[in-house]
């Protein structure tokens, strides 16, 4: 699939989710894992989704329209310590509601930093997706930060922790532009199914 068009559509701060007939592909994961960067990488637009080295940048649900036919959805990151407890609870609620109720949601990509062991929240998110029968896939980010052999050993740790096979995981680096073909092929499969 070629991405010929990518445009910001809407930001949503609560459960007033964007309604359309288009398929949705969403990105979830810890704050700072690289969700917004991955969207920019996929769409080949440097500043389509706002990125930041400070965790907690994406506090809204941001929708982007692709090729005038489907939506990429940038979700707020979890595990960010600096937000208030109340804000956290609200966000967890909206995030869950979005995932449970979005009828056109075709796939959720759960992003994991190759350098980190998946957290309890990562595991809970995956279990939540399985439980609600939401198609999902793990994407590992930032492989440019490790050597090839380190990437291989960290992948084994991630697979063991989450009960996945290596083949189930898409391995990427937005900085080194790695994994684009595999990811686009996967997205294409879900939006056309």
Our finding on whether 175 is near ligand GTP (CB under 6 A) is yes
Where are the strands (E) in the chain, listed by range? 6-12, 23-29, 61-66, 70-74, 105-113, 136-141, 169-171
For 157, residues 6+ apart whose C-beta sits below 8 A from its C-beta are: 117
> Of the listed pieces 56-64, 115-123, 145-153, 156-164, which binds Mg ion according to CB under 5 A?
56-64
Q: Which is nearer to ligand GTP, 56 or 164 (CB)?
A: 56
Q: Which is nearer to Mg ion, 41 or 155 (CB)?
A: 41
Could you say whether residue 57 binds Mg ion (CB under 5 A)?
Answer: yes
How many Å apart are CA 164 and CA 168, to the nearest integer?
6
72 forms bridges with which residues in the sheet? 25, 64
Query: Where does this chain touch Mg ion (CB under 5 A) — which range of 3-11, 18-26, 55-63, 183-191?
Result: 55-63
* Torsion, Cα of 61, 62, 66, 69 (10° steps): 50
Shortest spacing between CB 97 and ligand GTP, in angstroms? 18
Closer residue to ligand GTP (CB): 81 or 103:
81
Residues within the interface to Mg ion (CB under 5 A): 35-36, 57-58
């Amino acid at each position: 699939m070629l991405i010929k068009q990518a445009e910001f559509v809407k930001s949503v701060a609560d459960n007033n989710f964007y309604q359309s007939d288009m398929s949705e592909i969403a990105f979830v994961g810890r704050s700072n894992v690289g969700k917004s960067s991955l969207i920019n990488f996929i769409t080949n637009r440097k500043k389509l989704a706002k990125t930041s080295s400070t965790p907690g940048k994406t506090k809204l649900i941001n929708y982007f329209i692709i090729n005038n036919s489907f939506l990429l959805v940038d979700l707020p990151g979890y595990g960010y310590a600096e937000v208030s407890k109340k804000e956290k609870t609200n966000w967890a609620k909206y995030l869950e509601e979005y995932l449970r109720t979005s009828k056109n949601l075709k796939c959720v990509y759960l992003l994991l930093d190759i350098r980190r062991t998946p957290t309890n929240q990562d595991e809970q998110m995956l279990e939540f997706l399985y439980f609600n029968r939401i198609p999902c896939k793990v994407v590992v980010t930032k492989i440019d930060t490790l050597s090839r052999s380190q990437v291989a050993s960290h992948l084994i740790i991630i697979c063991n922790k989450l009960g996945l096979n290596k083949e189930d995981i898409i391995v990427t680096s937005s900085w080194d532009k790695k994994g684009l073909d595999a990811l686009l092929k996967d997205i294409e499969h879900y939006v056309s199914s």
